[in-house]
Structure 1
């Protein structure tokens, strides 16, 4: 056994995400759809992006899978709800209808909209981001994931990742996530719930 795999096997977060990715690969394959949609929700730092990367790497179907991170869509630090609405109308609904979806990314430095991106409805799609699972979006996802993780762990991972850029906005963003969890009950819309240490 290599030292790299030995280290990863002792990392509880790595183990949890590896298990989740394995379960989701089977769930995607079981949909028997040519272009399944996977929605991954969870609070900041829960492991959504890491899980999406693992799933893309080991995608169980032939061909390419598309991925959209809501971090590229949220219009600023108060934009959780608006970002999810944009993802639904510009990406998920067109994909479900067999139409090309077009969305614009948000430039966090310039505080404005940036480049346009297209989503091919014939290809599988993974969308990940906080706030994603709602009554309106759940019906548009074949496999729907909620990641549950303790606040202290999530905060440490998120701030290690984004550093001082995120620190002043942590509470501001967390309040929007609180509202989402209370009002939308995302775990209830999930086909799979995973706990990440």
Structure 2
């Protein structure tokens, strides 16, 4: 087992050059239920000690159960303004009403922008992403986590979504392009505080 620390990763990110205006764009991609959200939030906590950080969960830019248009919206509403030195923001998708929410989600100018979620690391973004992170877990574990998180039986939709994800990851070579690969469900959890460390994959 190889172990990394969020503190070391945060230091590495801040030491890297900014490629999105004055910001360092960090993406956390991988299948649903893999542990991306947990990883991203722990990373944000470590980054915040060193400077300003903003977090965007890209599923707020999905128009339902599809990846179509999500990256385009992220680019237009968040990345382009930040690259120009302006704050970004968007109206997130409301999954309950299946429509765009009137609520505004601001994305302030910061030293680091973390974008978490499936579809956050397309090849088209390679030129301005500072650090690409891939998180994975066994398929059965990820599916079980997704069902538990929703609180209702969405087995059919989740399985269809897995097919969408798989096609995207194959097309974009997401795992292969990642700078760091993380085990979202290690067989033997690290003998340290999980808020501080993570298990890596080759």
Which TM-score tier does this pair reach, normalised by the shorter chain?
Answer: 0.7 to 0.9
Query: What's the offset of the Cα at 1:167?
Result: 2.7
Q: Which runs of 5+ in 1 are unaligned?
A: 1-14
By percentage of residues, which structure has more helix? 1
Q: Is 1:143 equivalent to 2:128 in the alignment? A: no
Distance 1:39 1:21 in 2: 15
Count of aligned residue pairs for this structure pair: 181
TM-score (norm 1): 0.80
Which residue number corresponds to residue 195 of structure 2? Answer: none
SS at match of 2:91: strand
Distance 1:175 1:94 in 2: 33
Distance 1:166 1:26 in 2: 39
Distance 1:173 1:113 in 2: 20
Which residue number corresponds to residue 40 of structure 2? Answer: 52
Q: RMSD in angstroms over aligned alpha carbons? A: 2.4
Q: Which runs of 5+ in 2 are unaligned?
A: 186-202
Q: Is 1:119 equivalent to 2:95 in the alignment? A: no
> Cα 1:151–1:32, aligned 2, differ >3 Å: closer, same or farther?
same
TM-score (norm 2): 0.78
Which residue number corresponds to residue 184 of structure 1? Answer: 172
Which residue number corresponds to residue 6 of structure 1? Answer: none
SS at match of 2:69: helix
Alignment of 1:31-42 (within 5 A): 31=16, 33=18, 35-42=23-30
